[in-house]
Amino acid sequence: MSLPHLLLRQALQAPERPAVLHGTALHATHGQWAARAAGLSQRLREQGLQAGDRVLIDARNHPRTLELMWGAWWAGLAVVPVNAKLHLREVEWIVGNAGARWGFVTRDVVPEAIAGLERQVDLDSEEADALFAPAADATAVPIAERGPDDLAWLFYTSGTTGRPKGVMITARNLMTMGLAYFVDVDAIEPGDAMVYAAPMSHGAGLYAIPHLMAGARHVVPASGGVDPAELFDLGRAVGPLSTFAAPTIVKRLVDHAEAAGLGPADAARSFETIVYGGAPMYRADIERALRVMGPRFVQIYGQGETPMCATALSRAHLADAAHPRHLERIASVGTAQTPVRLRIAAPDGRELPVGEVGEVLVKGDSVMAGYWRNPEATAAAVRDGWLWTGDVGCLDADGFLTLKDRSKDLVISGGSNIYPREVEEVLLAAPGVAEAAVVGAPDAEWGEVVVAFVVASPGAALSAEALDAYCLAHIARFKRPKQYRFVAELPKNNYGKVLKTALRERLAAG
């Protein structure tokens, strides 16, 4: 069973079942989705695109994105999803590196031509209408013969330490992720609704795969993004929604619910399951989310290199407040998902015992084929089948993984290791703190010192003295920040992850 066959299977079984919604309006049944994907596949091949070629997507969340993904796979092409907030020059670099031939865009994201593309198609144009016109008979359009280890999704990393790397994700990787969802993340029934509020260029878009497997509905908000009021209303209108959300999106949903006086019963009418991941979720934030919205959360941990598939922290574990290690568990990222193995390793590759901190390694059929045209980076990241994630963490006796930080974010002050996340957890529990991010700054005496960037809650008055006292009451003296920078907001990427590189640049610039 290949990715296109998943769609054809649903189209044959239930062609009239609603599949894609734009807001509350029906955009396509499963039969229409398959016919449009097949028609697009036919026209792409007529225009000279061949199996293995790459097509770029640089667009806001759009209902045609799903038709485009499956149409490309139907033709044997690989999809190159692009962060919609990238600068044009960054996109053009990706086009050149990936060798993408065609690009599909929306004008609000890309108002000008992208150099290097043979053809650029606006998803809202008459040109797109013609390309996406349905095939008369989808079953008559041959699905390109591609193997499970052929490239399907070429995802470019954020590039915070230089040029981004193209992560080669195969059909096997995507099918593994999709099947693991049912075992490790959540059950899906036909007619359930997955909403794409987070960028479809990232993990949220990949969750279309398990939801298609189950014959669920796919909902693109009319706004194309994250509007908490819209999402609550949308869930009440079309049925409780499932979604993937970065912790910053979860926080916005919880803020809205609290401000509107909505409780767990109200949240249940709008949301079935909220899967969160992609950035650290702090204990104080998930405790608040559970209190305000009830037990509808699941956490996953993965990377672009093992998409959406490393660990999962189940709804049951998050809700099990009676467990003696509940607080430790909800601060973890859960246990290994079914298709993978985990271990914690020292820099020399030696496996570390339970409780010791080292680099997180992942092995299994979800792990990437390598980095596009970058054998050196591939050899450094994947050794003997194990993906070296660059994340630092430890396993407990029950197999729960607790992340400490990215290895590059570790602060070494006076010879002592300080994990920024530990300090951030304390700061976020302090009265009046809305957000906090901790980085290391060079220091002549200590090597590095801890610097905290802090965003105050609305109406709160914060001081360095008060935060220092709070930290001294909760963590070792050497771990507390030596400087506090009060800022209106933290710099974040398109997926809500705090850009610590940008914070370090601010410090370097004085």
Residue 195's nearest CA partner among 233, 234, 229 is 234
pLDDT tens digits, one per residue of 27-64:
999 999 999 999 999 999 999 999 999 999 999 999 99
Of all residues in the chain, what percent carry a pLDDT higher than 70? 98
Dump pLDDT digits (tens) for 59-102.
999 999 999 999 999 999 999 999 888 889 889 999 999 999 99
Q: What is the mean pLDDT of residues 239-246?
A: 95
Q: What is the CATH number of the domain that holds 390?
A: 2.30.38.10
Same domain, residue pair 119 and 26: yes
- Residue 509 CA to residue 26 CA, distance in Å, equals 51
210, 178 Cβ separation under 8 angstroms: yes
Sign of CA dihedral 192, 193, 199, 201: positive
One domain for residues 418 and 373: no
Sequence-separated (6 or more) residues with CB below 8 Å from residue 421:
280, 282, 403, 404, 405, 438
d(Cα 387, Cα 362) in Å, to the nearest integer? 5
Task: Summarize pLDDT for 356-367 with one digit per residue, the tens.
Answer: 999 999 999 999
**What per-residue confidence (pLDDT) applies to 148?**
96
Q: For the chain, what percentages of helix, strand and coil (3-state, to nearest 5) are there?
A: 35, 25, 35
Is 392 a member of any domain?
yes
370 and 421 fall within a common domain: no
For residue 77, give its domain range.
Answer: 1-146
135 and 15 within one domain: yes
Q: Any idea what the CATH number is for the domain that residue 62 is in?
A: 3.40.50.12780
Q: How far is CA 228 from the centre of its chain?
A: 18
Number of domains the chain contains:
3
What angle is formed at CA 220 by the lines to CA 206 and CA 314, rounded to 5 degrees? 50
Q: How far is CA 392 from CA 408, 430, 476, in A?
A: 9, 25, 20
What is the SS3 assignment for 269? helix
Residue 330 falls within a domain, yes or no?
no
